[in-house]
Amino acid sequence: MGTVEESTGPVRLDGRVVVVGGGLATARTVSTLRRKKLTGPIDIVSAEGHLPYDRPPLSKDVLSGAKDSTALPFDPVKLDVTVHTERVATGVDTRARVLHTGRGDLPFDGLVIATGAEPIRLPGDGEQITLRTIDDALTLRDRLTPGARVVIIGASWIGAEVATAATAHGCQVTCLEYADAPLANALGADVANRLVPWWSGTDLRCGTSVREVSGEGVVLADGTVIPADVVVTGIGVRPSIGWLDGSGLATDRGVLTDEFCRTSVSGVVALGDVAQRWSPRTGRHVAVEHWDDAGGAAATAAVALLGEAPAYDPVPYFWSDQFGHKIQYVGAHTSDDIATITTSDSGDLDTVTWTAPDGTLAAWLGVDRPRDVIAARTAVGTSATDFATAHA
């Protein structure tokens, strides 16, 4: 969908807004609503027992021990917001304009859906830790003791950051990856193969298929059991949309919105990891699922709830800190694009430039190249040759 299907007009400034979620998208949307002079009541409904907090540091500073809290700057008293923690949204009646929760209904004039995403788990009754919440991170950190046998399933972005922390804590790390190299699905085999040396302090087993997590450890597809003291599953996430079943809101992978974060129902916006937003730039709905997008969309989502908003369709950006390196990626590439890899004098991965069939820059990745990120982000969609010449 590129347009909303029905219209009841914008939410009045004295209207009641309910925001579902407890992450970055929620914090930023609520702050913007108040800045834009919404005087009506705002209720935040969050499944977690905390005020909104940030997630990227969970797998970095919290696991390393540098931080115990990642609270976002957010003062409910100053913002005059009621935060309902440990309260789960269970459904929404978009005609009656009521949110159903595990602890009663909340009426709304405007609804913000910011329920993020939830980790995918593997079958089996053995303990597996996934890393999505501050509680997950603190639990995992306590278990990363010297010599502990930590088995990570998935050499993903999360898997790599957990492996970094676990090796730093002196754990014996085994990582089981289905693909032939870490991040091969995300970055392609040629780039992924260059990342293998980073994993040298771990027992990285690529091309390995896991059947389940049992009480004895991780059971592979061939029946082999890998014993483990700690099992961390990092095989991806799914947008948290199950609670919207039967609501009539248009969904696909996530909640479908237009470029203004408006869903198929007037007065209901969605943003962050839960949303799949129309991108006029690429001509499709995109599920970006990165920090920069969740935070940046808030200004548009809040303003769109109250009236006319500017479109939000930036070139995607994300980063990952792993094995002492910062990876930064801008744009989005497909298997049709040609990857050009540069390496440093020592042979380490330096940059990757993906060129689309029409010669434009589709995406760029830099390793420890923070100064080039803005230029690369600006160059996406322009001549890849010009960008490569300017940044040789």
Ligand X SMILES: Cc1cc2nc3c(=O)[nH]c(=O)nc-3n(C[C@H](O)[C@H](O)[C@H](O)COP(=O)(O)OP(=O)(O)OC[C@H]3O[C@@H](n4cnc5c(N)ncnc54)[C@H](O)[C@@H]3O)c2cc1C
Largest CA distance in the chain: 64
As measured in angstroms, the least distance from the Cβ of 240 to ligand X is 4
Closest CA to 201 of 164, 232, 154: 164
Cα–Cα distances (Å) from 112 to 6, 30, 147, 303, in that order, read 17, 9, 45, 12
Specify the residue, 211 or 253, whose C-beta has the smaller distance to ligand X: 253
Specify the residue, 102 or 357, whose C-beta has the smaller distance to ligand X: 102
Tell how far CA 54 is from the center of its chain: 11
As measured in angstroms, the least distance from the Cβ of 238 to ligand X is 11
Answer yes or no whether residue 92 interacts with ligand X by CB under 6 A: no
One-letter identity of residue 279: S
As measured in angstroms, the least distance from the Cβ of 368 to ligand X is 15
Tell how far CA 77 is from the center of its chain: 28
Answer yes or no whether residue 243 interacts with ligand X by CB under 6 A: yes
Answer yes or no whether residue 46 interacts with ligand X by CB under 6 A: yes
SS3 316: coil
Choose which of 10, 116, 154, 296 interacts with ligand X (CB under 6 A): 116
Q: How many residues bind ligand X (CB under 6 A)?
A: 37
Give the HSE-up count for residue 240: Cα atoms under 13 Å, Cβ half-sphere.
21
Choose which of 17, 18, 58, 256 interacts with ligand X (CB under 6 A): 58
The 10 Å Cβ neighbour count of residue 308 is 8
Per-residue binding letters, 259-298, with ligand X (x by CB under 6 A): -------------xxx--------------xxxx-x----
As measured in angstroms, the least distance from the Cβ of 85 to ligand X is 9
As measured in angstroms, the least distance from the Cβ of 112 to ligand X is 10
As measured in angstroms, the least distance from the Cβ of 23 to ligand X is 2
Reported as type and span, the H/E element at residue 297 is helix 291-306
Q: What is the DSSP secondary-structure string of 25-75? A: HHHHHHHHHHHTT--S-EEEE-SSSSS-B-SGGGGTHHHHTS-S--B-S--
* CB burial readout 115-130, b (16+ within 10 A) else e: bbbbbeebebebebbb
By CB atoms closer than 10 A (0-12, 13-18, 19+), residue 102 is exposed
Q: What is the DSSP code (8-state) at residue 169?
A: T
Per-residue binding letters, 172-211, with ligand X (x by CB under 6 A): ----------------------------------------
Per-residue binding letters, 222-241, with ligand X (x by CB under 6 A): ------------------x-
d(CA 151, CA 163): 9
Choose which of 11, 16, 32, 59 interacts with ligand X (CB under 6 A): 59
Stretch near ligand X under the rule CB under 6 A, chosen from 41-49, 120-128, 246-254, 335-343:
41-49
Specify the residue, 55 or 377, whose C-beta has the smaller distance to ligand X: 55
Residues in region 299-358 near ligand X by CB under 6 A: 318-320
Tell how far CA 67 is from the center of its chain: 20
Stretch near ligand X under the rule CB under 6 A, chosen from 18-26, 30-38, 247-255, 354-362:
18-26
Choose which of 17, 38, 113, 131 interacts with ligand X (CB under 6 A): 131
d(CA 14, CA 4): 23
One-letter identity of residue 9: G
As measured in angstroms, the least distance from the Cβ of 48 to ligand X is 4
Enumerate binding residues for ligand X (CB under 6 A).
Answer: 20-26, 45-48, 55-56, 58-59, 88-89, 114-117, 131-132, 158, 240, 243, 272-274, 289-292, 294, 318-320
